[in-house]
């Protein structure tokens, strides 16, 4: 078992509160992705679970036992750091083998060899296995760092933006590899990324951190469709959700107290109309879809359009806003159900 529970965890560094009264349960085998801007407390949360920091208040439970004061080595956790640090004097092979050769592990060398080579394949570094760690590109170093975390097969993986230095193709491949590994091992993942596709595709649940507070946690679909506030609504979705002052454009069923109306790009419908109130001001061609930038009643909206629709700047249109989300003065969502 490898479930993780944070119980009212606060972490202060001097007068900075990096995490503020965070409670969170991660079930065995779950893949939880943390999203949040720089300084939100993501790395701090991973370091607390790893045992590299101690909470100022609250407790951390791993597999049901109170691990708050346990040393990192006791926790059966492996960590891919945001600043991947390899042993520069060792080869790729020896970097990967290092965790397996730790004192007390007594893993036979042929078993070490088998696991190192398997992981090297997985993270696409087998062709550089004899290189010294300093003679690698940033993306290659990052892959070795991921490999070094995988080779031990612990029950909990903590990964801090592990794919950030990779190109889009490798990132997509490794995303799938990591999901397979997680499914095969039944391991628990706590994973930080700024990449929305990673968050949406890999997560069983996404946790949104803002200023040390866990603002919302839920499945990708819940976070996307049912954000608790404007901040969460704006964290997911590319292009970003349209935020419109109430009254600027016609919207049905606006509840009392609404200050801002949020409409996702896929819910802004445009129809060509020579005398329509809206004007297309820019078209971004992305291949499989286009982004239309639309000006209407002084509001700038972004919407999606299939490439078969040949929109040009200057075209006039009618606009309809579907499935609006309503936010109050404080940015909190107003329930409509
Ligand atoms: N060792 C430390 N000493 C003092 N302040 C720290 C320390 N570690 C983190 N902080 C502060 O705690 C807050 C949270 O930092 P953290 O590294 O957890 O952010 P993050 O969400 O990982 O950001 P990023 O996306 O930039 O990596 C920040 O204000 C940071 O300056
Ligand atoms: Mg960080």
Q: Is 44 in the pocket of ligand 1 (CB under 6 A)?
A: yes
Q: Is residue 76 part of a domain?
A: yes
- Pick from 178, 174, 200: nearest CA to 188: 178
Q: Is 38 in the pocket of ligand 1 (CB under 6 A)?
A: yes
The pTM score is 0.90
Residues of the chain with pLDDT > 90: what percent? 81
Say how many Å lie between the CA of residue 42 and the centre of ligand 1: 8
For residues 253 and 220, membership in a common domain is answered with no
For residues 323 and 198, membership in a common domain is answered with no
Say how many Å lie between the CA of residue 22 and the centre of ligand 2: 17
For residues 158 and 267, membership in a common domain is answered with no
Task: Give the tokens for residue 26.
Answer: 């991660």
User: In a 3-state reduction of DSSP, which class is residue 308?
Assistant: coil
Q: Whose CA is nearest to atom 2 of ligand 1?
A: 13
For residues 183 and 297, membership in a common domain is answered with no
Q: Is residue 335 part of a domain?
A: no
For residues 320 and 189, membership in a common domain is answered with no
Domain boundary among 231, 249, 281: 231
For residues 61 and 128, membership in a common domain is answered with yes
Q: How many domains does the chain have?
A: 2
For residues 92 and 206, membership in a common domain is answered with yes
For residues 171 and 36, membership in a common domain is answered with yes
For residues 161 and 298, membership in a common domain is answered with no
Q: How far apart are the C-alpha atoms of 62 and 128, rounded to whole Å?
A: 36
Give the atom of ligand 1 at the shortest distance from the alpha carbon of 45: 18
Please check the confidence at residue 8 and state whether its pLDDT lies above 80.
Answer: yes
Q: How far apart are the C-alpha atoms of 120 and 10, rounded to whole Å?
A: 38
Task: Report the pLDDT value the prediction gives residue 197, as an integer from 0 to 100.
Answer: 87
| pLDDT tens per residue across span 145-194 | 999 999 988 889 999 999 988 899 989 988 998 898 888 888 899 999 98
Confirm if 35 and 199 have CB atoms less than 8 A apart.
yes
Say how many Å lie between the CA of residue 278 and the centre of ligand 2: 42
Task: Report the pLDDT value the prediction gives residue 254, as an integer from 0 to 100.
Answer: 95
Task: Report the pLDDT value the prediction gives residue 282, as an integer from 0 to 100.
Answer: 97
User: In a 3-state reduction of DSSP, which class is residue 123?
Assistant: coil
Q: What is the CATH number of the domain that holds 312?
A: 2.40.50.140
Element (H, E) at 295: strand 290-296
Q: Is residue 251 part of a domain?
A: yes
Strand order in the sheet with 278-285: 268-272, 316-321, 278-285, 290-296, 299-305
Task: Report the pLDDT value the prediction gives residue 1, as an integer from 0 to 100.
Answer: 67
Task: Give the tokens for residue 53.
Answer: 């920091």
In the predicted model, what is the mean pLDDT of residues 196-202?
90
Element (H, E) at 21: strand 16-26
For residues 209 and 274, membership in a common domain is answered with no
Q: Is residue 284 part of a domain?
A: yes
Helices and strands of the chain, counted as H and E runs: 8, 18
| pLDDT tens per residue across span 46-88 | 999 999 999 999 999 999 999 999 999 889 899 998 887 899 9
Please check the confidence at residue 313 and state whether its pLDDT lies above 70.
Answer: yes
- Pick from 134, 131, 201, 127: nearest CA to 163: 201
Domain boundary among 210, 231, 252: 231
The residue written with tokens 């040009």 in the block is 312
Higher pLDDT, 197 or 213: 213
Task: Give the tokens for residue 65.
Answer: 């036992």
For residues 210 and 262, membership in a common domain is answered with no
Q: What is the CATH number of the domain that holds 172?
A: 3.40.50.300
Q: Is residue 161 part of a domain?
A: yes
Task: Report the pLDDT value the prediction gives residue 305, as an integer from 0 to 100.
Answer: 93
For residues 139 and 277, membership in a common domain is answered with no
Range of the domain at 132: 4-231
Q: Is residue 199 part of a domain?
A: yes
Say how many Å lie between the CA of residue 164 and the centre of ligand 2: 12
- pLDDT tier at 337, thresholds 50, 70, 90: low
């Amino acid at each position: 078992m490898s479930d993780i529970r944070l119980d009212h965890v606060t972490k202060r560094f001097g007068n900075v509160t990096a995490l503020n009264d965070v409670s969170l349960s991660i079930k065995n085998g779950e893949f939880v992705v943390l999203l949040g801007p720089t300084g939100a407390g993501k790395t701090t949360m991973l370091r607390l679970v790893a045992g590299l920091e101690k909470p100022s208040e609250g407790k951390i439970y791993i597999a049901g036992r109170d691990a708050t004061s346990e040393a990192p080595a006791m926790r059966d956790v492996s960590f891919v750091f945001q600043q991947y640090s390899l042993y520069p004097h060792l080869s790729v092979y020896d970097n990967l083998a290092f965790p397996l050769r730790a004192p007390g592990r007594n893993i036979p060398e042929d078993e070490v060899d088998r696991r190192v080579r398997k992981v090297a394949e997985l993270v696409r570094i087998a062709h550089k296995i004899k290189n010294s760690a300093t003679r690698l590109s940033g993306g290659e170093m990052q892959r070795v760092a991921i490999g070094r975390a995988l080779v031990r097969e612990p029950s909990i993986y903590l990964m801090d933006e592990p794919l950030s230095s990779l190109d889009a193709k490798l990132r997509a491949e490794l995303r799938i590899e990591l999901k397979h590994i997680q499914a095969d091992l039944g391991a628990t993942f706590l994973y930080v990324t700024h990449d929305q596709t990673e968050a949406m595709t890999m997560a069983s649940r996404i946790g949104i951190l803002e200023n040390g507070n866990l603002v919302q946690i839920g499945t990708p679909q819940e976070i996307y469709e049912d954000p608790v506030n404007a901040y969460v609504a704006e964290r997911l979705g590319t292009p970003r959700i349209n935020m419109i002052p109430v009254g600027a454009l016609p919207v049905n069923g606006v509840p009392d107290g609404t200050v801002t109306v949020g409409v996702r790009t896929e819910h802004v419908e445009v129809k060509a109309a020579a005398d329509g109130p809206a004007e297309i001001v820019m078209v971004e061609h992305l291949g499989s879809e286009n982004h239309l930038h639309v000006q209407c009643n002084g509001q700038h909206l972004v919407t999606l359009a299939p490439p078969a629709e040949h929109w040009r700047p200057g075209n006039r249109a009618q606009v309809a806003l579907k499935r609006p989300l309503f936010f109050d003065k404080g940015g909190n969502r107003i329930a409509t159900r």
